[in-house]
Amino acid sequence: MNIYLVEYAINSLLRQKYKTIFVTVILTTLVFLLTSVFFITNSIKYELQSTVDALPEIVVQKIKAGRHYDLDSERVDDILEITGVNSAVARVWGYYYFANVGVNFTVVGIDEYEEQYKNSLNLIAKSLDFSTNSMFVGEGVKKSMSESYYKEYFNFIKPNGTLKKMNISGVFEGDTQLESNDMIVMSKENARDIFDMSQSRATDIVVKVANVDEIHTVASKIRLIFPDSRVITKDDLKISYQNIFDYKSGIFLALFVVSLFTFFIIIYDKASGLSSEEKREIGILKAIGWRVDDVLKEKFYEGFIISFFAYLLGVFLSLGFVYILKAPLIQKIFTGYSELKTSFDLPFVFDIQTLALVFFLSVPIYIAATIIPSWRSATLEADEVMR
């Protein structure tokens, strides 16, 4: 590295300060948009993957006329007899509509001594008082209830029109906010009472398989035993989650294409030729003894300084925008407009491939767009360039 060429490149940029500032702002904005898009999508992918990983391997539901109905809890015994099944638990859960806020709560019932299918439910089972009408609620549920002045208890309206008072014992956090934000956990007895469900019935059955390679084999056997059942594997849920994410991220893809198109318009304009002042400067430099490679090195330093500075600034701005400010302008694309949406606390995911992709889409391309027209002028004779 020639320190004198670097110094000359910096002074050259300072002499054209308005043009330098304009190009830097444009490049920074483009890098900021691209990295913000990638940071948000990577974090949400991680959140979705974590949520799916916490789910059971197989869920068995009863289907009648294309709708989900309660099933007989005794089906658990038949499923446990299948080779390869590690455990099977009959779940009691459902949605409760809270009209005051216009949201649906997910009410989940658990038993004190049964094996829980999630670690978060194991922790709640140790703290929940199963002998009383008590429940644990997610952060979003607690906020919605507090807005309607239900701070210590909540009155559920049962199907027969009577009220069931449940005390709020505490607020819990699940493995992810997508899992726990709208959830209420109570005993199965209380959940059955709220949904008017008999003791012999359950919402569905979750199945754990000892060997993950046998999940589809076990699912096929369950379908043969219970033809009226819908058997959902974890892979099915992953596909469903991915389809939702792909639909939402299509909006970001459009933003990415527009940003990239704008960037290449600038590059095309830059590579199409130099201004008369820049050509005259190259001619003077050649006249006083600069070689072609000296000119190209100086132009390389100019392009690198602007593009790399814009790249770093854009990345740091996007980090603050996404993980500190919580992406205030674009977060609703993914969180939606529900009153009971998550708080959008995205997990920080450091993806070197994302940073490398944005780097190679900006810095080398801009440097090339700076060097190519300079090379064309530098290969000409000095007097011809100045004329």
Structure confidence by residue, pLDDT tens digits, 42-62: 887 787 777 777 778 899 999
Residue type present at position 173: E
Q: Residues of the chain with pLDDT > 90: what percent?
A: 37
* Boundary-marking domain end, from 174, 202, 230: 202
Give phi and psi for 184, each to the nearest 5.
-125, 130
Give the pLDDT confidence score for residue 234 in this predicted structure. Answer: 87
Based on the fold, state whether residues 35 and 121 are members of the same structural domain: no
Are 190 and 112 in contact, with CB atoms under 8 Å apart?
A: no
Give the pLDDT confidence score for residue 379 in this predicted structure. Answer: 73
Residue 211, domain member (yes or no) = no
Residue 43, domain member (yes or no) = yes
pLDDT digit string (tens) for 82-124? 999 999 999 999 999 998 888 889 999 999 888 887 877 888 8
Q: Which helix (H) or strand (E) holds 91?
A: strand 85-98
Other residues' Cβ atoms within 10 Å of the Cβ of residue 257: 10
* Joined tokens for residue 329: 């302008």
Residue 345, domain member (yes or no) = yes
Count helices and strands (H / E) in the chain: 14, 12
Based on the fold, state whether residues 162 and 288 are members of the same structural domain: no
Residue 220, domain member (yes or no) = no
Beta-carbon contacts of residue 314 (< 8 Å; ≥ 6 apart): 27, 28, 29, 30, 31, 32, 34, 35, 358
Give the pLDDT confidence score for residue 51 in this predicted structure. Answer: 73
Helix, strand or coil, per DSSP, at residue 327? coil
Instruction: Give 75: exposed, middle or buried? Use CB within 10 Å, 0-12, 13-18, 19+.
Output: buried
Residue 275, domain member (yes or no) = yes
Number of domains in the chain: 2
Are 51 and 356 in contact, with CB atoms under 8 Å apart?
A: no
Based on the fold, state whether residues 382 and 264 are members of the same structural domain: yes
pLDDT digit string (tens) for 311-347? 999 999 999 998 888 887 776 666 555 544 545 567 7
CA distance 9 to 85: 69
Based on the fold, state whether residues 151 and 249 are members of the same structural domain: no
Based on the fold, state whether residues 258 and 355 are members of the same structural domain: yes
Other residues' Cβ atoms within 10 Å of the Cβ of residue 274: 19
Give the pLDDT confidence score for residue 251 in this predicted structure. Answer: 64
* Joined tokens for residue 52: 């799916």
What is the domain extent for residue 41? Answer: 3-51+240-386
| Tens place of pLDDT per residue across the chain (387 aa) | 778 888 888 888 898 888 889 889 988 988 998 888 888 888 877 877 777 777 788 999 999 888 889 999 999 999 999 999 999 999 999 999 998 888 889 999 999 888 887 877 888 898 899 989 999 999 889 988 998 889 999 999 999 999 999 999 999 876 666 667 889 999 999 999 999 999 999 999 999 998 989 999 999 999 999 999 999 998 888 887 777 666 556 666 666 677 677 777 777 666 666 666 777 777 777 778 788 888 888 889 999 999 999 999 999 999 999 888 888 777 666 655 554 454 556 778 888 998 998 899 889 988 888 888 888 777 766 656 555
Give the pLDDT confidence score for residue 339 in this predicted structure. Answer: 47
Are 386 and 290 in contact, with CB atoms under 8 Å apart?
A: no
Give the pLDDT confidence score for residue 344 in this predicted structure. Answer: 56
Other residues' Cβ atoms within 10 Å of the Cβ of residue 345: 10
Based on the fold, state whether residues 45 and 116 are members of the same structural domain: no
